[in-house]
Structure 1
Amino acid sequence: MGTREYQVYNPIDIPKSLETDYQQAVPGFFEHDDPQRPLDALPPRFGLLDESADRWATFTSKIVKLNQEAPNGTHFKVFFLGRHGQGHHNVAENKYGTKAWDDYWSKLNGDGELVWGPDPDLTDVGIRQAKEAHAAWEAERKLEVGIPLPEKLYCSPMTRAMHTHIITFDGIITVENQKTLILENCREEYGEHTCDKRRSRTVIHSEFPQLEIEDGFTEEDELWTPERESEEHIITRAKAILDRVFDADAGQFISITAHGGIINAILMAVGRRKYALPTGGVLPIVIKVTNRVV
């Protein structure tokens, strides 16, 4: 597919060219393709319907065949969408309830007992959840024909997501093989909530040197404002992520470690309903993109 320049879209500058239906989810592979299925953070086999011993070989061959037989300009990729483990802001929202959190507490940095802003880290529970995601990957990787490992990995620039990513793929994906790329667009729905204001580029690079930061990443957070990002805009941002991945990456298996808001935006961008993925959860999805002129 053709290349083009990517940017982080500001709420006042949403390209109309992205408001299309050329990105579509392909159902029939995973349990959560059915919205009536119960919600689990880490279901067996990551929810793959095929329970056979050679399930991942069969799945991979199906994806390869889809791409081989696709008409010119149509491409299929598998996205493993990982949500960060529990952060201190999640504890605070549970403490006060969603309405009080949205109306008042989310605008503060803490309550004298908990500190959740800006950019909170994982709790002990969140660290455990990330380790459980790691164990799930290891279990499927150690099969005779294991799960296809991501050929390209992306991550949100928020601390809770970066820590989750590093714990999840420790020893599974090595830095020598490929560096994970931090994308600004992978961050959570931003604005208003202090927990969604990121740290500086310098601090991120200093604390996570094993991760690569995309070109054009600003030193300070220039996107966070006292006004919450709209749903329309975060879906547009999700479409931009998919555009970048399909244009820049030849691989068929992609990992994105991020947040509930942007994961749901990706789902809505490809025609899926919102999915209440628990913290520490992983949701695989097959996405089809049909090329178009921008």
Structure 2
Amino acid sequence: MKASGKRDEKIQTIMFLRHGVAKHNLPDPVTGASPNLRSPTLWDPPLVTQGMKQALSVRERLADGPLQSVDLIIASPLTRCLQTAHLVFFPPGTSSYDKDPIPLTCMEQVREAYGMHYPDKRRDKSLLEKHWPFVHFDPSMTDRDEQWSETRRETIDDVVQRVTQFLDWVAKREETNICVVSHGVWIEACFQAYFPMMLENGRRVYNCDFFQGQLVSQNGKFVRLQNLGRI
């Protein structure tokens, strides 16, 4: 953690990683039609093989770089993000669990825009805790997904409000290098609100895109993002 010298600002390194390709990201293999996101068959879909390979590729590419410094991981409670975080930071064959693993916390604030689309409906917290025993789940998370609605979907303004609450939370943390494993809409909403140049000329956030920048805060309150770039 660095003090910038400007009005006692604090600077933390923050990284953003979108999950790998999951089942709902692919068109129908026969018809080529876009997936029906209102179908319960796509409830909290897992990564497909391509998405798993993407996550392992991020690990291989960045293990000796930005990933080395991460001291806190924050992941969305949706399966595809938990899988991505696991493959990037604790890939098969490692002995991470026997050494001091990087703390991994699961938070509702970084989940995808929710409502109406079944891929964005999470599983019960009790089930997630059984499947991911090494993950710390935010105590404020209810067992059932009480935020998802069949009839209303979050607006971008709603997502930005969650983003801001989360960045304020990060500003109060003692960790210096934090990686957020989240979703396309969430990350794009964050950039559009606080670093719009990242989305200039129609640029998007694609599966397993990785970004690194700095979070600047003052007196425990988020001020701005700076020096953000895709790696």
State the TM bucket, normalised to the shorter chain. 0.7 to 0.9
Residues 179, 251 of structure 1: alpha-carbon distance in 2 compared, 3 angstrom cutoff: closer
TM-superposition CA deviations, 1:74-116 (whole Å, max 9, x none): 222221101100000001389424xxx5xxx211134xxxxxx
| Counterpart for residue 159 of structure 2 | 234
Q: Which residue is 1:107 aligned to?
A: 38
Corresponding residue to 2:187 among 263, 268, 285: 263
Q: Matched residue of 1:204: which SS? A: helix
Q: Does structure 2 retain, via aligned residues, the 8 Å contact 1:148–1:253? A: no
The two structures, once aligned, show a CA RMSD in angstroms of: 2.5
CA contact (8 A) 2:75 2:182 kept: yes
- Name the counterpart of 1:204: 128
The corresponding residue for 1:88 is 23
CA distances 1:20-41 after superposition (whole Å, capped 9, x unpaired): xxxxxxxxxxxxxxxxxxxxxx
Amino acid in structure 1 at the alignment position of 2:14: F
Count of residues paired in the alignment = 211
Residues in 2 aligned to 1:250 and 1:270: alpha-carbon distance in whole angstroms: 22
User: Which residue is equivalent to 2:11?
Assistant: 76
- Aligned residue number for residue 134 of structure 1: 59
Contact residue 73 and residue 104 of structure 2 kept, 8 A: yes
Structure with the bigger RCO (C-alpha within 8 Å, sep 6+) is: 1
Runs of 4+ in structure 1 deviating by more than 4 angstroms, as ranges, are 171-175
The residue correspondences of 1:168-179 to structure 2 (distance < 5 A) are: 168-170=88-90, 171=94, 176-179=100-103
Residues in 1 aligned to 2:166 and 2:137: alpha-carbon distance in whole angstroms: 15
Give the deviation of 1:292 after TM superposition. Answer: 7.8
Deviating more after overlay: 182-191 vs 167-176: 167-176
Query: Which of the two has greater strand per residue?
Result: 2
CA distance 1:173–1:277, shift in 2 (3 Å): farther
TM-aligned CA deviation for residue 172 of structure 1: 9.1
Q: Residue 161 of structure 1 aligns with which residue?
A: 81
Q: Which deviates further from its counterpart, 228-237 or 266-275?
A: 266-275
Shift of the alpha carbon at 1:285? Answer: 2.0
List per-residue Cα deviations over 1:158-188 (Å, max 9, x = no partner).
0000000000001496573442010011111
Q: What amino acid is aligned across from residue 165 of structure 2 in structure 1?
A: A
In the superposition, the TM-score normalised over structure 2's length comes to: 0.82
**Which of 191, 208, 212 in structure 2 is aligned with 1:284?**
212
Cα deviation digits, residues 250-284 of structure 1 (max 9, x gap): 12211011111111122133242545122122111
Instruction: Report the CA distance between 1:138 and its aligned residue.
Output: 1.9
Instruction: Give the Cα–Cα distance (whole angstroms) in 1 for the partners of residues 142 and 108 of structure 2.
Output: 9
How far apart, CA to CA, are the structure 2 residues paired with 1:263 and 1:211?
22
Distance, in Å, in 2 between the alignment partners of 1:234 and 1:269 is 10
Report the secondary structure of 1:69's partner residue: coil
For the pair shown, the structure with the greater C-alpha radius of gyration is 1
1:37-73: per-residue Cα shift (whole Å, max 9, x none)? xxxxxxxxxxxxxxxxxxxxxxxxxx84xx252322x
Aligned-partner SS, 2:11: strand
Percentage of matched positions with identical amino acids: 21
Q: Is the 8 A contact 2:74 2:104 kept in 1?
A: yes
SS at match of 2:216: strand
Instruction: Name 2:44's counterpart in structure 1.
Output: 119
Inter-partner Cα distance in structure 2 for 1:172 and 1:258: 25
Q: CA deviation at 1:291?
A: 3.9
SS in 1 for 2:178: strand
Please state how far the C-alpha of 1:286 moved relative to its aligned partner.
Answer: 1.8
Distance, in Å, in 1 between the alignment partners of 2:220 and 2:4 is: 19
Q: Alignment partner of 1:190: what SS?
A: coil
